[in-house]
């Protein structure tokens, strides 16, 4: 089977509603099931760390539980040195997503064969564009979303596609995973909204061109150059009017299934139901052969 769609509610597996814990840095809930299985719900505030920091904490906790002193990570808090405090310019403020009500969350599982089929669809004949798994799936999901919504944005509204980028690997030399904090950036592009172009190729051109916007390059190991590369990346549209963000974030290649507390590795790791609309979270499947896409949309758009 190429893909599977399912709707799952996980709110009971966490210690509190995620948006009601603004002052808490972390929450943990241990869940025991009648079948004998167990589950741990772990949430960490984005105020203190990103996905890389999340897994650094989790796997250090796991190592301590097993008495594995070799894999205990000593965090380094250097974000203030890498990115000194500065006033954000007005166009950057809309990057912060807001919580929404009446949202639906569905998980779509893509097998490896389906992923390769999608990649082939978006690969140009001369292979000028040979998309990654995440690029191809992002273009595919975005295209179906645009085809499904009933109305285009008004003349003073536009969608902005955002991809999260872990900056640790973009430094020269790369930063260690021990660097704890929010060391990521949101790469952005303003896509076409022409529903007539249903093949989605124009969307992949937009998404694939983001490296030239200064987001995917290797940053030199000097703060001024890093900030220059991030803050002044060009866009082909002037960001005026109401912006509607559509966010893609990938947890693929992170050590999702390495958390062995001593009870063996987990059989499944999943995302929480998040309250940000137009958000897609990619995660590897348990066998590493496919990708789960956790899609959060308004109920009417999901339908």
In Å, how far from its chain's centre is CA 217? 19
274: left (phi over 0), alpha (psi -120 to 50) or beta: beta
The vertex-136 CA angle with 133 and 141, nearest 5°, equals 120
175: left (phi over 0), alpha (psi -120 to 50) or beta: beta
pLDDT in tens, the chain (303 residues): 455 666 667 888 888 887 777 788 899 999 999 999 999 999 998 888 999 999 999 999 999 999 998 888 889 988 888 877 766 554 444 445 556 778 889 999 999 999 999 988 888 776 667 788 998 899 899 988 888 876 666 777 788 888 988 988 888 888 888 899 988 888 888 776 665 554 444 456 555 544 333 333 333 333 333 333 333 333 444 556 788 889 999 999 999 999 999 889 999 999 888 888 899 999 999 988 899 999 999 888 888
Q: Is residue 60 part of a domain?
A: no
Q: Is residue 76 part of a domain?
A: no
Domain holding 266: CATH number?
3.30.559.10
Q: What is the dihedral of CA 237, 92, 250, 16, to 10 degrees?
A: -140
Q: Is residue 61 part of a domain?
A: no
Q: Is residue 243 part of a domain?
A: yes
Q: Is residue 173 part of a domain?
A: yes
Count of structural domains within the chain: 1
Q: Is residue 26 part of a domain?
A: no
Q: Is residue 241 part of a domain?
A: yes
Domain that holds residue 194: 3-7+81-302
Q: How far apart are CA 208 and CA 212, in angstroms?
A: 9
8 Å CB contact between 119 and 131: yes
Quote the longest CA-to-CA distance of the chain. 60
Angle, to 10 degrees, between the axis of helix 133-148 and the axis of helix 201-208?
Answer: 130
8 Å CB contact between 160 and 190: yes
What the block records as the tokens of 82 is 């890498």
């Amino acid at each position: 089977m190429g893909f599977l769609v399912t709707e799952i509610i996980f709110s009971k597996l966490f210690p509190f509603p995620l948006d009601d814990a603004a002052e808490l840095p972390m929450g943990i809930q241990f869940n025991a099931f009648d079948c004998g299985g167990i589950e741990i719900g772990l949430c960490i505030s984005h105020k203190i760390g990103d996905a890389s920091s999340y897994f650094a904490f989790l796997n250090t906790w796991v190592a301590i539980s097993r008495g594995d002193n070799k894999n205990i990570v000593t965090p380094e808090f250097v974000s203030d040195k890498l990115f000194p405090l500065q006033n954000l310019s007005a166009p950057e403020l809309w990057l912060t997503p807001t919580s929404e009500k009446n949202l639906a969350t569905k998980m779509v599982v893509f097998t490896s064969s389906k992923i390769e089929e999608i990649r082939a669809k978006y690969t140009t004949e001369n292979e000028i564009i040979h998309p990654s798994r995440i690029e191809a799936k992002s273009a595919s999901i975005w295209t179906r979303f645009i085809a499904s919504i009933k109305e285009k944005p008004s003349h003073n509204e536009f969608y902005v596609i955002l991809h999260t980028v872990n900056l640790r690997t973009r430094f020269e030399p790369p930063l260690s995973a021990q660097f704890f904090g929010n060391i990521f950036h949101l790469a952005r592009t303003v896509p076409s909204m022409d529903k007539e172009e249903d093949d989605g190729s124009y969307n992949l051109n937009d998404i694939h061109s983001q490296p030239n916007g200064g987001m995917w390059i290797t940053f030199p190991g000097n703060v001024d150059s890093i900030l220059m590369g991030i803050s002044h990346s060009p866009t082909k549209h002037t960001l005026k009017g109401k912006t509607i963000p559509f966010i893609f974030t990938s947890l693929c290649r992170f050590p999702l299934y390495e958390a062995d507390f001593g009870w063996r590795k987990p059989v499944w790791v999943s995302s929480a139901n998040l309250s940000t609309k137009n958000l897609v979270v990619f995660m590897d499947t348990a066998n590493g052969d496919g990708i789960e896409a956790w899609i959060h949309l308004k109920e009417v758009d999901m339908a």
